[in-house]
C-alpha cells in the first residue's frame, strides 16, 4: 500500500515538472548565467500567487518565453515573452505575474467592461442640469 502511495506521489511530481517545462521556454542569446530550475520555480510560484490572490481553481498561464540578452527589458503580451537584458529574478517574476493577470480576463471582456463604464458615465446627469 505504501509503495502505491509513493508511486502516486512520484508520478504527480513528475507530471508537475513536465507541465512547468512546457509552460516556460528560455532563449538565452548570450549564454547569460541563469538556473533553469530556479526560473521554473519562479514561474510556478508567480502563477500560483496570482491564482491564490484571486481564489481561482483553474490553471492560468499556459506558456511563457523568457528571452535573455534582449536590447531592453520589456514584456510582449501578444508574444507572451519576457525580454530581459540580463537575468533578474524579480523582473522575471513581475513579468510572469503580469502575463498571469492578462490571462484572467480575455481582451473581449476588458472591452465590454470599458464600454459599460462609458455607458454609465453617459447615463448619469449632474443635479445642476436637472434644474434647467
What's the Cα-to-Cα distance from 102 to each of 48, 70, 120, rounded to whole Å? Answer: 14, 22, 24
Please state the domain count of the chain: 1
- Which pLDDT tens digit goes with each residue over 64-99? 999 999 999 999 988 999 999 999 999 999 999 999
Range of the domain at 83: 2-105
Q: Quick check: pTM over 0.85?
A: no
- Which pLDDT tens digit goes with each residue over 25-56? 888 877 778 888 899 999 999 988 888 888 88
Domain assignment of residue 83, yes or no: yes
Domain assignment of residue 132, yes or no: no
Angle between helices 89-104 and 36-53 (to 10 degrees): 40
pLDDT value at residue 121: 81
pLDDT value at residue 102: 83
Say if residue 20's pLDDT is above 50. no
Amino acid at each position: 500500500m505504501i509503495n502505491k502511495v509513493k508511486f502516486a506521489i512520484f508520478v504527480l511530481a513528475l507530471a508537475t515538472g513536465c507541465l512547468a517545462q512546457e509552460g516556460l521556454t528560455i532563449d538565452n542569446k548570450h549564454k547569460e548565467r541563469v538556473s533553469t530550475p530556479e526560473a521554473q520555480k519562479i514561474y510556478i510560484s508567480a502563477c500560483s500567487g496570482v491564482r491564490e490572490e484571486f481564489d481561482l481553481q483553474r490553471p492560468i498561464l499556459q506558456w511563457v518565453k523568457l528571452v535573455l540578452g534582449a536590447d531592453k527589458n520589456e514584456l510582449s503580451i501578444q508574444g507572451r515573452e519576457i525580454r530581459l537584458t540580463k537575468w533578474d529574478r524579480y523582473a522575471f517574476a513581475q513579468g510572469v505575474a503580469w502575463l498571469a493577470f492578462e490571462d484572467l480576463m480575455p481582451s473581449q471582456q476588458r472591452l465590454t467592461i470599458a464600454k459599460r463604464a462609458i455607458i454609465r458615465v453617459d447615463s448619469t446627469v449632474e443635479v445642476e442640469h436637472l434644474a434647467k
